[in-house]
Structure 1
Amino acid sequence: MKTFLTVSALLLAGNCLMAQTNNELSPKEKNQGWQLLFDGKTTQGWHNYLKPSAGPAWTVSDGILKLDPSVKEGRGDIVSDKEYENFELSIDWNIAEEGNSGIMFTVHEDKAYENTYITGPEYQLLDDKKAEDNKQANHLAGSLYDIIAPTKAAENPAGQWNHTIIRLKNGELTFWLNGVQTVKTTLWDANWAELVAKSKFKTWKDFAKFHKGHISLQDHGYHIMFRNIKIREV
């Protein structure tokens, strides 16, 4: 006997399949060297900057890592337990209306630096439509914050999922947002020095100076969610 599925049943089955694959690695990804930075169940592998573990403001439910800024205890940026130098990071994010956040990388964790952004460049996460910090092009989603504006707008609206890739190899840095390449530059060369000199970081002596460091998810005081956080060394 043949069984026929309705269109709605097929869609439901497809949605279930997609849900099952969140926070998992496919056989192909495993062969390519990808590793999960988020298991979909706990904050294992992450800790608040300069703290031993992730605080209560960072929670996990329904396979999603969430920041709730209304929880006053345990606020602050979280960083990966491990450090990375040449890597490719893949991550989904969903920001609230008016939201502002970021992904920092090559963050040097040391008591000499009060915050992650003092050493780590930032891939900007923003509600481009309603966030207060949407006046400068190099502050929009997909930008290298305050340094390079995205080549084009590629963000899905607040409340919807976005997909980001950050690739850093031997100083060559590339950003993608929802499949669109938004930034391509080279760190630590003469042109990079000129770019930083024109930014708000021009007097920060250790900004982006470290070639290896932690990945950081920013607490900027707005609700934000993450899933499918994957990394591979390149």
Structure 2
Amino acid sequence: MKKLMIFLTVVFVLGCKQKEKQETTTEIVEVEKEVVQEENGWQVLFDGTSFDGWHVYPGKEVPDAWQLEDGAMILRTSSYRKDGTRFNMVTDKEYSNFQLSIEWMVTEGANSGIMWSVVEDEKYPEPYYTGPEIQVLDNINHPDAKNGTTHQAGALYDMVAPSKDVVKPIGEWNTYLITINHKTNEGIVVLNGIKIVEFPVNGEGWETMVANSKFETWEVFGKSKTGKIALQDHGEAISIGYRNIKIKEL
């Protein structure tokens, strides 16, 4: 009996040490990943496991209309939409000059957008009152695609059309690399590895674009150089997905 107790004790101790070793190894791997990301200047905005760092505009908790599925945040509004409620997702932090890497996917008839320099204030009912938008759209089935190429996926909405249509079919994931840099006065959109849009982000060039768009009389549109990043809920009962979101401040 004593020998058996000693044997069980040894097994228990070895088991504990092995578990501690595995936990330590996992922690080291996670730390190494974080170090690599930080060294390259990239910070994860959405890792697929939680909505940490995000909330719904203006200043609301993330509702069940946004769900976590297979490493993505998916907007499913059909069961949650009441009285025109919108579920625009925005970052907790504000950004000025950055590169944003983000994957997006639309279902049939979907419409969304990625906005920057969003001023979060209840006096502005929607993020688009202040934040310019890179369009996310089903170019084939959504009626807005028929309103010109400046309304199609990849466009700086209502201002600059994409030079090429390189959008993947409905249900497949697309990748944006969006650069906004006020220091160099550059806005760049790369879609699925192809540069499709370039534009100034301040000064006379920016003001001319705004003056020639639907935003001409919008007093606060695009005025701020700093603000939240937003993922738009356009109001339809259509699913939209985003994943692998990271940012590098410039």
Q: Shorter-chain TM-score: what band?
A: 0.7 to 0.9
Identical amino acids, percent of aligned pairs: 43
2:4 aligns with none
Match of 1:53?
61
1:44-70 deviation digits (Å, cap 9, x = unpaired): 111110133212111112211100021
How far did residue 217 of structure 1 move?
Answer: 0.4
The yes-or-no answer on 1:85 pairing with 2:96 is: yes
Q: Please state whether the residue corresponding to 1:164 is helix, strand or coil.
A: strand
Secondary structure of 2:128's aligned partner: helix
Aligned residue-pair number: 210
* Structure 2 CA distance for aligned equivalents of residues 114 and 208 of structure 1: 15
Aligned residue among 171, 194, 197 for 1:180: 194
Residue in 1 aligned with 2:26? none
The answer to whether the aligner puts 1:94 opposite 2:108 as a matched pair is no
Matches within 5 A, 1:156-175: 156-170=168-182, 171-175=185-189
Counterpart CA distance in 2 for 1:76 and 1:202 is 26
Q: Aligned equivalents of 1:50 and 1:26: distance in 2? A: 30
Larger deviation: 83-92 or 45-54?
45-54
Q: What secondary structure, in the 3-state scheme, does the structure 2 residue paired with 1:210 have?
A: coil
Displacement of 1:39 in angstroms is 2.2
Structure-to-structure mapping, 1:53-202, within 5 angstroms: 53-72=61-80, 75-135=86-146, 136-170=148-182, 171-202=185-216
Q: 1:203 aligns with which of 217, 223, 234?
A: 217
Structure having the larger proportion of residues in helix: 2
Mapping 1:2-81, distance limit 5 Å: 28-72=36-80, 75-81=86-92
Q: Distance in 2 between matches of 1:59 and 1:142?
A: 25
Separation (CA, whole Å) in 2 of partners of 1:64 and 1:195: 34
My pick for the range that moved more, 63-72 or 78-87, is: 63-72
- The equivalent residue for 1:6 is none
Alpha-carbon offset, residue 209 of structure 1: 0.3
The letter for the 1-side match of 2:206 is W
Give the letter aligned to residue 195 of structure 2: Q
Whole-Å Cα distance in 2 between the matches of residues 51 and 84 of structure 1?
17
Any stretches of 5+ residues in structure 2 without a counterpart?
1-32
The code of the aligned residue for 1:112 comes to K
d(CA) in 1 for partners of 2:125 and 2:140?
31
Which structure's CA Rg is the greater one?
2
Bigger mean CA deviation after superposition, 54-63 or 140-149: 54-63
CA contact (8 A) 1:57 1:75 kept: no
Normalised by the size of structure 1, how large is the TM-score? 0.86
SS state of the match for residue 82, structure 1? coil
Q: What value does the CA root-mean-square deviation take over the aligned residues?
A: 1.5
Q: Secondary structure at the match of 1:216?
A: strand
1:216 paired with 2:230, answer yes
Q: 1:75 to 1:114 in 2, by over 3 A?
A: closer
Structure 2 SS opposite 1:148: coil
Q: Provide the residue aligned with 1:228 in structure 2.
A: 244
1:56–1:75 Cα contact (<8 Å) kept: no
8 Å contact kept, 2:47–2:243: no
Tell me the distance in 2 between the aligned counterparts of 1:98 and 1:27: 40
Q: Which moved more, 1:46-55 or 1:83-92?
A: 46-55
Deviations 1:69-126 (A, max 9, x none): 2132574201000000011100001100111110011101012211100000000001
Q: Which runs of 5+ in 1 are unaligned?
A: 1-24
| Corresponding residue SS for 1:83 | coil
